[in-house]
Structure 1
Amino acid sequence: MSHHPAKNQVLASDEFWKALKSEAKEVSEREPLLASYIHSCVYGHHNFETSLSFILSNKVSDDVMPAMAVGEIFNEAYLLNPAMVEAAIYDVQAVVARDPAVSTFLPVLTHFKGYQSLQVHRLAHYLWQNGRKELALFMQSRNSEVFSVDIHPAAKIGQGVMLDHATGIVIGETAVVEDNVSILQNVTLGGTGNEQGDRHPKIREGVMIGSGAKILGNIEIGKGSKVGAGSVVLNNVKCGVTVVGVPAKVVGKPDCKMPCDSMEQNVLQDKAK
């Protein structure tokens, strides 16, 4: 199948939905045991947002908060804030472009918990911004319980963000993650103590953060930089450099302007300073 776009090419909403439905049909025919599941998740819906709402609401609902009630919250948010839907479409395509383990849209939507947890956060953030903080905190809690991803509802996250594997990711209240960033499992964007105010990292566009990295405090990770796996970052990182270690130090430069796209994990291959 070749429904997904080439790198740097993004399908519009209608084209994306057609491609997704085409994939769903092919998978249903190839694997009959999944036909009913895929029909419920994708093929039985008239647009992408109702499909996404159905999938996410069934994931984060519990015995007290039924899927139908959660689905209504998602549907209302998508209706009133179409930018959330656009971001969700962009996120799917970013994962397909960057992750060598996936070549089609459907599994990202139905199975990738990094993608799903990010969309749940988008709803929590929308609720938080609109004064519904208790409901936002409920969504954060369910996100953490279901996906092992704990993102404060106030945290600002752009589009084209990939949470790869995602288990153990923690993002604090005043953190900012700009467009086109890739974050691997067990990453913390945290504070350094119990200080109040703006106390969490700002991750600029194009950054890739390796698994297990801890970025602490109100510091900036510059555009196009790379943080190596297992690093502890306590100071600002300039644009276009690679840092690694405990504490993290500059060891070179990424071999491309957007490390989030290349996903190159071996910092030893980066050019010398």
Structure 2
Amino acid sequence: MDDLTEDLVASGDDPIWRQIQSEAREEAEREPLLVSFLYAAVLRHATLEEGLSVILANKLQSAELPAILLRDLIYDALADDGSIRNSIRADLLAARTRDPAARGYAQPFLYYKGFHSLQTHRVAHALWSRERHALAAHLQNRVSEVFGVDIHPAARIGQGVIIDHATGVVIGETAVVEDHVSLLHEVTLGGTGKERGDRHPKVRRGVLIGAGAKILGNIEVGMGAKVAAGSVVLRDVPPHTTVAGVPARVVGQCTVAEPALDMDATFPFSVDAGAGI
């Protein structure tokens, strides 16, 4: 998000929430069967945080943690942390601008499990940071069961991140994902075995990671790099390069500063000319 948008949110003028409510009203007129849902999730709420808390609580509720308690837990975490509020809106902007299937802001807000998984992780990470480890682990478990996305609460994830389709995504405890990163489904940011300590990948700003890519170990994927679908990355990836293969190796240079913003998962076919990494 830019500074102007952050200032508007801080002052109580939230253009993204106004847009979501406008889109929800239009959708309610087109589809009467969704009127009650749209009212409960969007139209009755004064703020984005209130609506998101209801959506996540209804999806993640369990016998152990019913929706009414979960809603309050999530809302308190969102309301107390300005960085989370800014991250939510940056993630919505990423989904709106990078996913060609997104029709406005309301669609990802209401229906995209990648977005929902990421925002629940932000709550779990806040709990983990306050040493409420058991509750954070409970949220991680529920997200894994409901959405098929497993993100350790200690993992650090920046703003403007999109997890497209999301199914099968795994992000380990010591992983770092910086701002403006795009990940597709079945991506793993994992370890290589039973090593202890800092053992997961560090993904720098603007990186695009294709579907099914596995990045393993305490390695760095440099700023503005691209990892092709199905690749297995075991060594550092230089900034602004494209890597592909099993094991992955450099197959070309990226033509844009932040491939994550373009979402172009193609890469050069002259793999034989690539340099190993």
TM-score bracket for the superposition, by shorter chain length: over 0.9
- CA distance in 2 between partners of 1:254 and 1:95 (Å): 22
- CA distance in 1 between partners of 2:41 and 2:100 (Å): 24
Partner of 1:252: 252
- CA 1:224/1:10 → structure 2, altered by over 3 Å: closer, same or farther? farther
**Cα drift, residue 269 of structure 1:** 7.2
1:126-145 matches, cutoff 5 A: 126-145=126-145
Partner of 1:15: 15
**Cα drift, residue 63 of structure 1:** 2.3
Do structure 1's residue 58 and structure 2's residue 58 form an aligned pair? yes
- CA 1:85/1:239 → structure 2, altered by over 3 Å: closer, same or farther? same
Q: Structure 1 residues 77-86 or 16-25, which shifts more?
A: 77-86
Structure 2 unaligned regions, length at least 5: none
Q: Structure 1 residues 222-231 or 69-78, which shifts more?
A: 69-78
Partner of 1:238: 238
4+ residue segments displaced more than 3 Å = 9-13, 269-273
Do structure 1's residue 79 and structure 2's residue 79 form an aligned pair? yes
- Which digits, 9 at most, give the CA deviation of each residue in 1:151-196, with x for residues without a partner? 0000000010000000000000000000000000001000111111
- CA 1:270/1:35 → structure 2, altered by over 3 Å: closer, same or farther? farther
Do structure 1's residue 105 and structure 2's residue 75 form an aligned pair? no
* Matched residue SS, 1:73: helix
* Matched residue SS, 2:268: helix
The letter of the residue matching 2:138 is F
Cα RMSD of the aligned pairs, angstroms, is: 1.9
- Which digits, 9 at most, give the CA deviation of each residue in 1:185-224, with x for residues without a partner? 0010001111111000000000000000000000000000
The letter of the residue matching 2:248 is A
**Cα drift, residue 254 of structure 1:** 1.8
Partner of 1:189: 189
TM-score norm. by structure 1 comes to 0.94
- Aligned residues between the structures: 267
Partner of 1:34: 34
- Which digits, 9 at most, give the CA deviation of each residue in 1:6-25, with x for residues without a partner? x9x96853111111111111
The letter of the residue matching 1:158 is G
- CA 1:60/1:200 → structure 2, altered by over 3 Å: closer, same or farther? same
- CA distance in 1 between partners of 2:264 and 2:18 (Å): 32
- Which digits, 9 at most, give the CA deviation of each residue in 1:117-150, with x for residues without a partner? 0001111100000010000000000010000000
Q: Structure 1 residues 10-19 or 153-162, which shifts more?
A: 10-19
Q: Structure 1 residues 107-116 or 254-263, which shifts more?
A: 254-263
The letter of the residue matching 1:78 is L
- CA distance in 2 between partners of 1:226 and 1:39 (Å): 41
CA contact 1:222–1:240 (8 Å) conserved in 2: yes
* Matched residue SS, 1:45: coil
TM-score norm. by structure 2 comes to 0.93
Partner of 1:67: 67
Identity %: 49
- CA distance in 2 between partners of 1:98 and 1:261 (Å): 6
